[in-house]
A and B are shown apart, each in its own frame.
Chain A
Amino acid sequence: MLIVAGPVGAHSHDGGQNHPEQQGRIFSVMDGVRDLDLDDEIRYLTAHPAPLEDLSRVHATKYLNELESFCRQGGGNLDPDTFALSDSWDAACRAAGAGLEAIAELERLGDGVAFVPVRPPGHHAGAERGMGFCLLNNVAVSAAALTARGQRVLIVDWDVHHGNGTQAIFWDDPDVLYISTHQWPLFPGTGRADEIGGPNAIGLTVNIPLPPGTTGDIVRMALEVVAQPTIDQFNPDWVLVSCGFDGHRDDPLGELALSSGDFAQLAQLASSFAPRSGRLVLFLEGGYSATALRSSVATTLGALLEVPVEQEATTFGGPGSEAIEAARRGRVQAMDALRMKSHLAGGQG
């Protein structure tokens, strides 16, 4: 069973045709969903605005108030990339609420996979500010709702950009394991391998920066070699995916070399991290090529539901194997340094 919470942003938050983060993205994504021909095996949920209580777990009240009044007054640009318009507050709240509906439905069914096709996207939004096309951090709102109930949450972020907002929000949270593969160097300039989490969550941030041209085999290997041991140890109750498709080779905003077939394999890998069926939610993040979005959504969901879908061949042979070793080494060194620091601090105290 596929749960689709949304869509949100098909008819709101309109920054115009010239902005890559546009309404048409949702139409491409929903075409991808329809390509699966699921009939009875799909359930659509209306996305209601996330309650303030849920938003406040992640965002500062001051920012929420400012963003709401900024939008109500007509809005404008938050930075050269990011716009917020008069209806964007409502769209952002519903985008953040969709994940909560998806989780509730999965819990009710005890089975299935959930997809959250929403915009504005979320993973660049931090506690106190929006940026990088993002206003509220959708995946973080859902993760925080789960940890508030004592659940342990793994967030896998395979968007081509590092999810700086998500990382910062859960930096020192021992109940959230954040794993990101992303192109490096690239916006937003964070996500080095030695960024490993705060003192209460040492090692629970896993960053795997990858060079332009990286192929699917390397991204999978990166997750298996660098992240899998930490995931096994962490033992998550839920897996939330920051499911950006801008790592596709046709995407205009990034230079990774993934195909739609690669996203299918990444989805299967993410699914294998979940403790059981009914514990996997995919949140749309980036993805700015209409055709790549459509085919990648279809193959990703098709792989999870075991529905045969026409897909591009998986890719291999690109650069990045050195980057995996560098990421592994960078993590180990950063952890040793932190342990040494806390050991010394303890010795003095």
Chain B
Amino acid sequence: MTPIKTIAVGFDGSMNSQAAVTWASHLASALGAHLKVVHAVGLLEHAGQSRHTAARSEDGRALALAAGLLSSQVEWLAVDGDPLSALLRMTEAPHSVDLLVVGSRGAGQHSGTLLGSTSLELVEHSGVAVAVIPQGGPRDDSELGAPSRSE
């Protein structure tokens, strides 16, 4: 298995994506990996007409730092595009991340159908491993890579 050195996590400001950033941060911290917090800037957001919670870089970084990552391990990326393409682009050079992390359902999205679900489409199209974090985060989230816990 390739070592996980770089992780990209999708962040759109929603509760679900906050859980994903927290989970990815714990994992990055445990692995000593670099974390890219990726926010896709769509047509509406570019025009200041987004109908969903705005994702702010401070919020994304704050979640990562609160989960124990060093500032130097976290990078904020606002990428032009839809969420799926923006995340898939992270698997290509120059980013070439080893793992994609995404909430099960983004802002204003549907669940259960392939259409309208970034997470399901990502699993179908990604060439690297994808972790899908359920609403509210995984049940044993607190244990994952918690710095105080010795293995």
Q: Could you list which residues of chain A lie within 8 angstroms of chain B, going by C-beta atoms?
A: 18-20, 66-67, 70, 76-82, 84, 129-133, 161, 164, 185-190, 252-253, 288
Contacts and interface: CB of A to CB of B under 8 A. Distances in A.
Contact of A77 (B41, B50, B108): B108
B52 interface: yes
Contact of B80 (A78, A79, A130, A186): A186
Nearest to A130: B115
Nearest to B46: A187
A88 to B, nearest CB: 12
Contacts of A70: 113, 115-116
Interface string B69-80: 000000000011
A131 B82 contact: yes
15 contacts: A18-B51, A70-B113, A76-B110, A76-B116, A77-B110, A78-B116, A79-B109, A79-B118, A80-B44, A130-B115, A131-B85, A161-B43, A164-B85, A189-B85, A253-B43
Which of B89, B107, B108, B121 has the most chain A CB within a 10 Å cutoff? B108
A56 to B, nearest CB: 18
Contacts, number: 91
Contact of B115 (A66, A81, A186, A190): A66
Nearest to B124: A128
Secondary structure call for the B interface = loop
Contacts of B50: 80
Nearest to B116: A78
Interface in B10-56: 12, 40-47, 49-52
A131 B18 CA distance: 24
Contacts of A18: 49, 51
A129 B84 contact: yes
Contact of B46 (A130, A131, A164, A186): A186
Contacts of A76: 109-110, 116
A132 B43 contact: yes
A234 to B, nearest CB: 28
Which of B79, B82, B89 has the most chain A CB within a 10 Å cutoff? B82
A77 B44 contact: no
B10 to A, nearest CB: 12
Given A67-B115, A187-B41, A77 B109 contact: yes
A32 to B, nearest CB: 22
B42 A78 contact: no
B107 to A, nearest CB: 6
B4 to A, nearest CB: 25
Contacts of A187: 41-43, 46, 80-81
Q: 4 tightest A-B contacts by CB?
A: A189-B80, A189-B81, A81-B42, A131-B82
